[in-house]
Amino acid sequence: MHLPLATYRLQFNPQFTFKHAKAIVPYLAELGIPYLYASPIFKARSGSTHGYDVADPTQLNPELGGAEQFEDLTAKLQDHQIKWLQDIVPNHMAFDSQNQMLMDVLENGSDSQYKNYFDIQWDHPYEGIRGKVLAPFLGKFYGDCLESGELQLQYDEQGFSVNYYDLKFPIRIESYTAVLAYNLGQLRQTLGRKHPDFVKFLGVLYGLKYIPSGEEGSERYDQIAFIKSMLWELWNDNADIHAFIATNIKLFNGQVGIPESFNRLEELLSDQFFRLAFWKVGNEELNYRRFFTVNDLISLRIEDPDVFQSTHQLIFELIEAGKIHGLRIDHIDGLFDPSTYLFRLRDRANHTYLTIEKILETHEELPLNWPIQGTTGYDFLNLVNGIFCQQENEQTLTDIYHRFIGASIDCDRLIDEKKRLIISKHLAGDIDNLAHFLKQVSIRYRYASDFTLYGLKSALVEVMALFPVYRTYINNDDISSSDRNHITQVIQQAKENIPVFLNELTFIEKFLLLEFDDYLSDEEQQQWLLFVMRLQQFTGPLMAKGIEDTVLYIYNRLTSLNEVGSNPLYFGVSLEEFHQKNHLKCANWPHTMNATATHDTKRGEDVRSRINVLSEIPDEWDAQLRKWQALNAAQKICLPETGLDVPDTNDEYFLYQTLIGTFPFTDTDHDEFVERIKEYTVKAIREAKVYTAWLKPDTGYEDGFTQFAERILKPSPKNDFLTEFRVFQRKIQHYGVFNSLSQVLLKMTAPGVPDIYQGTELWDLSLVDPDNRRPVDYKLRTKYLRAIKKAWDKDPLDLLKTLLEKPEDGRVKLFLIYQLLQARRQFVEVFQRGDYQKLTVIGSLQDHVVAFTRTWGNHTAIAIAPRFFTSIVSDTELPLGEQVWHETRLSLPPGSPSHWCDLISGQTLNSQDALFLRDTLAHFPVALLVNSVDDVNSETDVVTSRHGQPSS
């Protein structure tokens, strides 16, 4: 297996194709990137900006350049020795007419060759969707859409379909007769019964009577294809038949203002394998599993071996051809049986690097028996971000937050409240299906036959609302101790919360722990297991929608901590915890990914680095807030219908932190920045679901908020807020630079594979998507990189001085990433296999330094990353040299080398038992030391500068 030294994530879309990626390969190679990490590249819905709405996993996306441009790109990568890590989507596909497999299901129902591909409940208890697939895509009620003429019967070479704007739903072949035979006498009279084309037309009608059903093989499909081709030929070759069919289509489509004229179309629709419905129906009545709460992403039954093979065939071909060398598995928690899937995948891709998108709660561990290399790195993101939050100020920050908003928020209660909101408003249909399933199974169990659907559903809702992790992983194997503990704790709490349903909860606990009674048959035991494995697929979406997409937009105490996979109850991370988790990761998951920014993160990595500074200066933050609140009070808009001042204080608090984190280094493109903020605020408050929401937007509140943002950001001599704000923001910006550099060092040197999200080699001041998927200027980055290399060759220390004096262009971050990528290439074993040991820091500033070693064989690397800069330097000073670090030093273990080289600054250092930071950090805010050639065996490579010259 080839293990990545580092990865670089690219977001492919129609505006950034394989051709565009090919153009930047030389830059990536020059930067030192060994692995391109690609967003989904298989055929997606037309115009997809992300690729997760896969329409056909058996072909490469033609909008990205298709197979030809993909071959050109991979050949270019091979020329530069860059390998490929591919993001794949096994959980779901697009619910769209471009998804031909799904369209086949909608057209053929149980006779479809793809009937087992999608996670559809055909035997739903509600008669209206039993034997059909709910299609909740209408913008208003079905009857209104029907009688307004928005549902249109149409005909083309593929056959008859009912179209709703750009959505197209195929009519089952058995229904064609209703359209084609209507008023047949008129066609007979026009053509005459012996006309060859009329005879052919009758042949079509005759064939429609005898369509094979339930047949194995291709007979049904052959006959359908024959009928469709004959009909299409008649449509094109005979004007009378064309006019006849067109007239019937017009008749079926009805006439607006005459309700009864739509009866024929309604009757036709009632005969289909789909049921069109208002989009909100999908939240309350649903018979297919979605991705989270997204109606137009339908889930796959990837646990079926045939589905697995079919949807992964092209992936395996690309792996075998040496085009793909690693896989990133999207949304592993959505799968019916993640463990079995991963073992099956490992069996087919035995020597492939595998990493999974998995959210781990703070004290949750990844199953050690999974045949993977680790996660995509959200656990590391929150770990490393947390150490830049000053924990001792938690209560002060909490008090400041509550004072500003004029209320006290109990975060535990908020989480519970919002999870229940998601259950009732967004997952009601899914929970209802689970409750019906549980009721159906319980009838066979003598001790539960009297349980009502209401009681079972109430107990089920309580269990799901209390669940503390994304999911358990119970299957046919033994239940893990962690899964067992989660279940017993949840049931115990549920019994305390709703004692009236004690019996139902006891019953559910037996279910979840698979405690079968002896008299249950094998079939009944399998039904128990099936229910448990079904339930496990829905706790994850509840966590994601309830916490990540709701609570994290409401609880704004310190928004840098509100990130994917974070727990808002935790205020930062201690150094001890940071070291402990890295030590465990080194032992168990040394090749997991270390991310600090992804396509899904809510704030750019450097936005969080800035906002974290507020945790160090709570009193100053409080003073600024009071001042800004007073200055901007007149800029608020009062909604006449509610009397509410917009934004409310919580949203105002949220906005100030957002501006601190994202405000550009320079005032260029200010108008563009304001528009970005306005777009972001609308998305954020809709996610919060307090005054407005995606389901029911309140444009009054939204407009009021965006106008407030626009007013307070308007450059004007009269805008005292902007003047005051910029002074404070520049101060935070200054310290944020050093937080960011320390974060880069830790990501690149801690156990794991560092991942760089596209463009973040310069400052990443982006917000949640789509803001973080804006085009990247690679010409500028190439220009900067080459200038940095040239300046390094001329005078390294002068380069460092220049970069630190002018950090606004981001070159200092690019320089650091470049140096560290070269270091990882030079000392591969140290960073891929080396052990991890924290170092003891001695001196008055010991709490301000994160330091550890990575050792393999004769080589030792020491990473040194300072933090909490506000109390050690002013906002005009650099954290360098003796005037800052004084006597603070690293205590080195006995027997440590005495000569060191800093792979960032190029300087050499001598030490006995300690390294003084005044010397180590004399020229750059962070350091990566390796033992010099004098202390290793003669075969060891000479430590060089980045361009082959010995360091000095």
Question: Which positions ≥6 away from 580 have C-beta within 8 Å?
Answer: none
Buried b (16+ CB within 10 A) or exposed e, 832-860: bbbebbbbebebebeebbbbbbbbbeebb
Three-state DSSP state, 766: coil
- The candidate with the shortest Cα–Cα distance to 231, out of 290, 300, 155, is 155
Three-state DSSP state, 374: strand
Give me the pLDDT at residue 939, please. Answer: 32
How confident is the model over 733-745, as pLDDT tens digits? 999 999 999 999 9
Strand order from edge to edge, sheet including 83-88 = 374-375, 353-356, 326-329, 83-88, 35-38, 7-10, 753-757, 593-594
Tokens of 510: 């037996």
How confident is the model over 576-635, as pLDDT tens digits? 999 999 999 999 999 999 999 999 999 999 999 999 999 999 999 999 999 999 999 999
Q: What is the mean pLDDT of residues 167-183?
A: 97
Q: What is the mean pLDDT of residues 896-919?
A: 93
Give me the pLDDT at residue 738, please. Answer: 98
Give me the pLDDT at residue 482, please. Answer: 95
Give the number of other CB atoms < 10 A from CB of residue 134: 23
Give me the pLDDT at residue 835, please. Answer: 96
Residues 538 and 464: beta-carbon distance below 8 Å: yes
Give me the pLDDT at residue 942, please. Answer: 32
Is the pLDDT at 941 greater than 70? The verdict is: no
Please give the C-alpha separations between residue 504 and each of 424, 456, 494, in angstroms, as whole numbers: 20, 6, 11
Is the pLDDT at 951 greater than 60? The verdict is: no
Q: Rounded to an integer, what distance in angstroms lies between the CA atom of residue 555 and that of residue 551?
A: 6
Q: What is the dihedral of CA 354, 357, 361, 362, to 10 degrees?
A: 60
Tokens of 158: 């593929």
Q: How far is CA 298 from the centre of its chain?
A: 17
Please give the C-alpha separations between residue 64 and each of 43, 255, 296, in angstroms, as whole numbers: 9, 42, 22
Concatenated DSSP letters of 76-114: HHHHTT-EEEEEE--SEEE-STT-HHHHHHHHHGGGSTT
Residues 639 and 704: beta-carbon distance below 8 Å: yes
- Name residue 929's beta-bridge partners: 862, 902
Tokens of 888: 């603070």
Is the torsion defined by CA of 61, 62, 64, 70 positive or negative?
positive
Q: What is the mean pLDDT of residues 223-232?
A: 96
For the chain, the distance separating the N- and C-terminal CA atoms, rounded to the nearest angstrom, is: 37
Determine the residue type at 475.
Answer: N
Question: Which positions ≥6 away from 33 have C-beta within 8 Å?
Answer: 6, 7, 8, 82, 756, 821
Question: Which positions ≥6 away from 573 have C-beta within 8 Å?
Answer: 382, 383, 385, 386, 387, 389, 391
Eight-state DSSP code of residue 611: H
Please give the C-alpha separations between residue 360 and each of 258, 342, 380, 472, 546, in angstroms, as whole numbers: 57, 17, 10, 12, 16
Q: Rounded to an integer, what distance in angstroms lies between the CA atom of residue 939 and that of residue 920?
A: 27
The DSSP element (H or E) to which 859 belongs, if any, is strand 859-866
How confident is the model over 514-524, as pLDDT tens digits? 998 877 888 88
Give me the pLDDT at residue 217, please. Answer: 62
Q: Please work out, in degrees rounded to the nearest 5, the angle formed at the alpha carbon of residue 120 by the alpha carbons of 100 and 154.
A: 40
Give me the pLDDT at residue 948, please. Answer: 33
How confident is the model over 679-692, as pLDDT tens digits? 999 999 999 999 99
How confident is the model over 700-717, as pLDDT tens digits? 999 999 999 999 999 999
Q: Rounded to an integer, what distance in angstroms lies between the CA atom of residue 838 and that of residue 822?
A: 23
Q: Rounded to an integer, what distance in angstroms lies between the CA atom of residue 859 and that of residue 834?
A: 9
How confident is the model over 106-124, as pLDDT tens digits? 999 999 999 999 999 999 9
Eight-state DSSP code of residue 884: H
Is the torsion defined by CA of 512, 514, 518, 520 positive or negative?
positive
Q: What is the mean pLDDT of residues 427-443?
A: 93
Helices 184-191/239-252 angle, 10° precision: 160
Q: Rounded to an integer, what distance in angstroms lies between the CA atom of residue 619 and that of residue 870?
A: 13
Tokens of 295: 């109606």
How confident is the model over 910-934, as pLDDT tens digits? 987 899 999 999 999 999 999 964 4
Three-state DSSP state, 312: helix
Tokens of 99: 């998804």
- The candidate with the shortest Cα–Cα distance to 940, out of 860, 862, 864, is 860
Determine the residue type at 760.
Answer: T
What's the predicted TM-score (pTM) here? 0.95
Give me the pLDDT at residue 667, please. Answer: 86
Q: Rounded to an integer, what distance in angstroms lies between the CA atom of residue 320 and that of residue 312?
A: 12
Concatenated DSSP letters of 778-846: HHHHHHHHHHHHHHHHH-HHHHHHHHHH-GGGSHHHHHHHHHHHHHHHHTHHHHHH-EEEE-EEESTTG
Question: Which positions ≥6 away from 87 have C-beta within 8 Å?
Answer: 37, 38, 39, 40, 51, 327, 328, 330
Give me the pLDDT at residue 445, please. Answer: 80
Question: Which positions ≥6 away from 623 have C-beta within 8 Å?
Answer: none
Tokens of 871: 């109390």
Residues 514 and 496: beta-carbon distance below 8 Å: no
Is the pLDDT at 478 greater than 90? The verdict is: no
- The candidate with the shortest Cα–Cα distance to 77, out of 353, 318, 284, is 318
How confident is the model over 83-112, as pLDDT tens digits? 999 999 999 999 999 999 999 999 999 999
Tokens of 856: 């393999």
Q: What is the mean pLDDT of residues 159-185?
A: 97
Provide the percentage of residues in the chain whose pLDDT is more than 90. Answer: 92
Tokens of 880: 């360098």
Determine the residue type at 473.
Answer: Y
Average of per-residue pLDDT values in the chain: 95
Beta strands in 484-547 (DSSP E): none
Eight-state DSSP code of residue 335: S
Tokens of 25: 């390969």
Give me the pLDDT at residue 216, please. Answer: 57
